[in-house]
Amino acid sequence: MEENHTIWIEKYRPARLADIVGQDEIVERLSSYVKTKNLPHLLFTGNAGVGKTTAAVTLAREIFGESWQMNFRELNASDERGIDVVRNQIKQFARTTPLGESTFKILFLDEADALTTDAQAALRRTMESYAQTCRFILSCNYSSKIIDPIQSRCAIYRFKPLSPAAIKEEILRIACREGLTVSLEAMDAMVYIAQGDMRKAINALQGAAIINRNIDAAMVYAITSTARPEEIDELLNLSLSGDFDGAESLLSHLLHERGIASNELINQCYRALLRRDMDRGLKVRLIDHLGEADFRLSEGANSDIQMEALIARFVLSAQERS
C-alpha cells in the first residue's frame, strides 16, 4: 500500500501548483511568476494545513525545474528563532551565487512569526542587501507578528481555510488511490475535525484506514479523540436545562473515558454555540465563559476543576435567563 512514504500527508503532497486544491486564486497568481521566471519577496499567511509550505515548494519546483533543490532551501524559524540564525544560516545562503542558469535562489522561512524582533530586523537588512541573488518566501500563521518593514517588502498572500468541498475532493482522491471505502458520514466527520486543515483530514483518514479499509464516522471520531457533534449538543442541552448532574456525568465520560482534551472540548462547544439558535444574550454570556475557561487552562489551571466550573457557569447562566 505504501510506496515512498509512510505518512500520507507527505506521500500525497501536491507536486505542482495546479494540484493544490481550495486556493485557486492564489495558485493563479503564483503561476504568473512561473511564466516570467521571476518573483518578488513573498509573505504567506494563514492557518496550519492550508497549503503555504506546499505552495512554496511547488513554486520553486516549477521555476527552477530539475535544479530546484540546488537553489531552494527551507528553514523553520521556530527551531532557532534568535538573531544568530539570520546572521549565519540565512545570510550565508542568500549571499552565495545561484547554481545552473538561475538568476536567483529562494529561501523559504517557515513559521517566520516565531522570530524575535531583533532577528526580524536583521532579516529585513538581509532581504535588502541580497535581493538580486535571493528571494525570500516567509510563512506565518499571524502576519501581525511580522514587523512592518518586512511586510512592506513582500507581496502578501492570505491563505483561507480550505472549504468542505476541497477537503472532500482530496479525501476521495486519496481513498481511490488507496482502495478505501469512505462513507458520506465519515467524510463529514473528517471535514468537522479538520476545520479547514488538510493535514488533519488526511491524518484522520490514514489513522482510520489502519484499522479498517471500510471507514465510517465512528472510526474517525474514535481515532482522532474527538467528541461527536451530537454529544456536544447533548452536553449543552443538559447544562442549559439545569441538569448539572447529567452534564457533569457526560463531561466526565468525555474527558476521562474517551480521553478528549479539555481544550478540544472547549473548541467544540464554541463551534456548537455559534451555530445554535438561542437567546442572543445567553449565547454571548456562554461564549464569554468559554473564553475565560480557555484562558485559565492556558495559564496552567487544573483542567478538571475548570471544566466542572464551566458547566456550572452554563447552568447558572441559563437559570438567570429563565
> Of the spans 2-6, 72-76, 240-244, which averages the highest pLDDT?
240-244
Q: Sketch out the chain's domains with CATH numbers.
A: 23-158 (3.40.50.300), 164-223 (1.10.8.60), 229-321 (1.20.272.10)
Tell me what pLDDT residue 67 has: 81
The helix-helix angle for 198-211 and 164-178 (nearest 10°) equals 30
The one-character DSSP state at 309 is H
Q: What is the pLDDT of residues 26-62, one digit of tens each?
A: 999 999 999 998 899 999 999 999 999 999 999 999 9
Task: Indicate the pLDDT class of residue 101, thresholds 50, 70 and 90.
Answer: confident
The H or E element spanning position 106 is strand 105-110
Reply yes or no on whether the pLDDT at 287 is more than 60.
yes
Q: What is the pLDDT of residues 136-160, one digit of tens each?
A: 999 999 999 999 999 999 999 999 9
Indicate the average pLDDT of the chain.
Answer: 91
DSSP line for 163-229: PHHHHHHHHHHHHHHHT-EE-HHHHHHHHHHHTT-HHHHHHHHHHHHHH-SEE-HHHHHHHTT---H
Q: What is the pLDDT of residues 213-225, one digit of tens each?
A: 999 999 999 999 9
Contact 75, 90 (CB under 8 A): yes
Reply yes or no on whether the pLDDT at 119 is more than 50.
yes
- The arithmetic mean of pLDDT across residues 297-319, rounded, is 95
DSSP line for 40-72: -EEEEE--TTSSHHHHHHHHHHHHHGGGTTTSE
Cell numbers given for 138: 516567509
pTM: 0.86
- The arithmetic mean of pLDDT across residues 185-214, rounded, is 95
Cα–Cα dist 319/311, whole Å: 12
Tell me what pLDDT residue 322 has: 66
